[in-house]
């Protein structure tokens, strides 16, 4: 049996500044990937006039290029011109990724501040722990980058009809190097500015949820180990964690929703190759067909990682409520602090998709079922 101890001994309120580590963690790596996507935050630029000017002009130029790409790509997608389902899927992927990018660009500074605040707050209150799962995010990022690189290379090398054929490429048949350059530029914009930002945000969302879940888990274990009856101090720590989850969800919920729309579009794209497999395997070359499945597999894995990590927060909060029920018996004469702690622990704590639906295991099943149902319904139209 462990000796009784104060809750603050297990979760000290403050830590000396000299002992705090610098921000060398998964988030620094993820924001480097965001910069590769040409999504810049203020923390990575200096205060010089040149840097401020670059920070305002460069994103505007890049986003203008992306919008032009979307305007050209949406009506001209020609992966399989005779298949209306593929054209719909391409259009929805382009539009959903464009919406997600614009929301991400408008909130990137807040995302940076949130990650920094999360780490500093958790270390200050000794709720921080290095998560081994972060190694999986590094591996996930490497696999995603390799998959997207394969997608881009196939877009350049494929002899199948290209979306730019009608506008440009057919008019410069003899200009081989120019055609390769245009195809390469098209592939770079598609991969780094449209698809990669969605994947990097999925990694960011997963890492944030892992941190929050780790904090809740450490709080739960400390709550189990202590016999302290000073519920005022315990309540203060729990309210701190709940506020942190609420603040993070307020910024990430709309991006979670836009990500779900994008993943639904790629799922629709992948399902069309199953529903119309005879047409695809007969008319479409294996190279472009393989890119569809690479895109579908990487995005499906990203969606599952986001939802599973998000649902773990709800599950941990439910475990905390069970422990609180065991420690605070309703038959006792409860103090106002105990009543409030019991009331707070009873309230649902979960990440959400645009404040509409809480991210639980049921959310995963319901979302996948809805996506598959609507994909089949749209294909039949």
Residue 126 pLDDT grade (very low, low, confident, very high; cuts 50, 70, 90): confident
Q: What average pLDDT does range 93-110 have in this prediction?
A: 93
Q: Which residue has the higher pLDDT, 226 or 371?
A: 371
Secondary element (H or E) of residue 352: strand 352-353
Q: Is the pLDDT of residue 353 over 60?
A: yes
225, 3 contact by CB (below 8 A): no
What is the percent of the chain with per-residue pLDDT over 70, rounded to a whole number? 76
CB-based burial label for 317 (10 Å; 0-12, 13-18, 19+) = buried
Half-sphere exposure of 177 (CA within 13 A, CB side): 0
The phi, psi pair for 164, rounded to 5°, reads -90, 5
Q: Is the pLDDT of residue 11 over 70?
A: no
Q: What average pLDDT does range 3-32 have in this prediction?
A: 58
211, 122 contact by CB (below 8 A): yes
Please tell me the predicted confidence (pLDDT) of residue 229.
66
Residue 312 pLDDT grade (very low, low, confident, very high; cuts 50, 70, 90): very high
Please tell me the predicted confidence (pLDDT) of residue 55.
67
Please tell me the predicted confidence (pLDDT) of residue 292.
84
Residue 14 pLDDT grade (very low, low, confident, very high; cuts 50, 70, 90): very low
Say how far apart CA 122 and CA 126 lie, in whole Å: 6
Please tell me the predicted confidence (pLDDT) of residue 59.
78
Q: What average pLDDT does range 120-129 have in this prediction?
A: 76
Q: What average pLDDT does range 118-136 have in this prediction?
A: 75
Residue 194 pLDDT grade (very low, low, confident, very high; cuts 50, 70, 90): very high
Per-residue pLDDT reduced to its tens digit, 71-89: 777 665 544 455 566 677 7
Please tell me the predicted confidence (pLDDT) of residue 284.
58
Please tell me the predicted confidence (pLDDT) of residue 270.
85
Residue with tokens 């202590």: 226
Q: Is the pLDDT of residue 311 over 90?
A: yes
Most confident of 69-73, 168-172, 300-304, 367-371: 300-304
Please tell me the predicted confidence (pLDDT) of residue 67.
83
Q: What average pLDDT does range 209-220 have in this prediction?
A: 93
Question: To the nearest whole number, what is the mean pLDDT of the chain?
Answer: 81
Please tell me the predicted confidence (pLDDT) of residue 185.
86
Residue 3 pLDDT grade (very low, low, confident, very high; cuts 50, 70, 90): very low
CB-based burial label for 309 (10 Å; 0-12, 13-18, 19+) = buried
Tokens representing residue 76 in the block: 């001209």
Q: Is the pLDDT of residue 145 over 70?
A: yes
Please tell me the predicted confidence (pLDDT) of residue 262.
95
Say how far apart CA 147 and CA 199 lie, in whole Å: 11
Of 222, 219, 231, 226, whose CA–CA distance to 328 is shortest?
Answer: 231
């Amino acid at each position: 049996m462990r000796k009784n101890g104060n809750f603050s001994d297990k979760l000290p309120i403050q830590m000396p500044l000299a002992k705090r580590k610098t921000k060398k963690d998964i988030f620094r790596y993820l924001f480097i990937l965001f910069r590769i996507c040409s999504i810049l935050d203020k923390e990575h630029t200096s205060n010089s006039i040149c840097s401020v000017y670059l920070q305002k002009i460069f994103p505007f130029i890049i986003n203008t290029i992306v919008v032009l790409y979307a305007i050209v790509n949406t009506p001209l997608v020609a992966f399989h011109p005779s298949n209306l389902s593929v054209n719909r899927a391409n259009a929805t992927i382009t539009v959903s990724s464009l919406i997600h990018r614009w929301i991400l660009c408008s909130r990137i500074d807040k995302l940076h501040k949130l990650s920094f605040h999360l780490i500093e707050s958790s270390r200050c209150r000794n709720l921080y722990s290095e998560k081994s799962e972060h190694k999986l995010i590094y591996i996930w990022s490497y696999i995603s980058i390799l998959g997207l690189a394969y997608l881009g290379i196939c877009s350049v090398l494929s002899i199948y009809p290209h979306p730019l054929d009608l506008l440009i490429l057919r008019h410069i048949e003899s200009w081989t190097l120019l055609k390769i350059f245009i195809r390469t530029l098209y592939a770079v914009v598609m991969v780094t500015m449209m698809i990669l930002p969605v994947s990097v945000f999925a990694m960011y969302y997963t890492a944030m949820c892992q941190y929050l879940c780790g904090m809740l888990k450490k709080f739960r274990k400390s709550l189990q180990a202590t016999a302290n009856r000073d519920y005022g101090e315990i309540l203060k720590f729990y309210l701190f964690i709940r506020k942190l989850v609420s603040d993070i969800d307020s910024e990430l919920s709309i991006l979670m929703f836009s990500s779900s729309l994008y993943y639904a579009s790629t799922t629709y794209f992948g399902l069309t190759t199953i529903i119309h497999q005879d047409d695809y395997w007969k008319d479409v070359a294996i190279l472009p067909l393989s890119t569809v499945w690479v895109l579908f597999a990487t995005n499906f894995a990203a969606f599952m990682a986001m939802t599973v990590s998000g649902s773990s927060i709800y599950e941990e909060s439910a475990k905390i409520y069970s422990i609180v029920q065991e420690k605070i018996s309703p038959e006792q004469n409860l103090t106002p602090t105990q009543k409030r702690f019991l009331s707070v622990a009873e309230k649902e704590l979960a990440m959400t998709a645009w404040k509409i639906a809480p991210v639980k295991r049921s959310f995963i099943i319901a979302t996948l079922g809805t996506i598959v149902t609507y994909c089949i319904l749209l294909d039949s139209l």
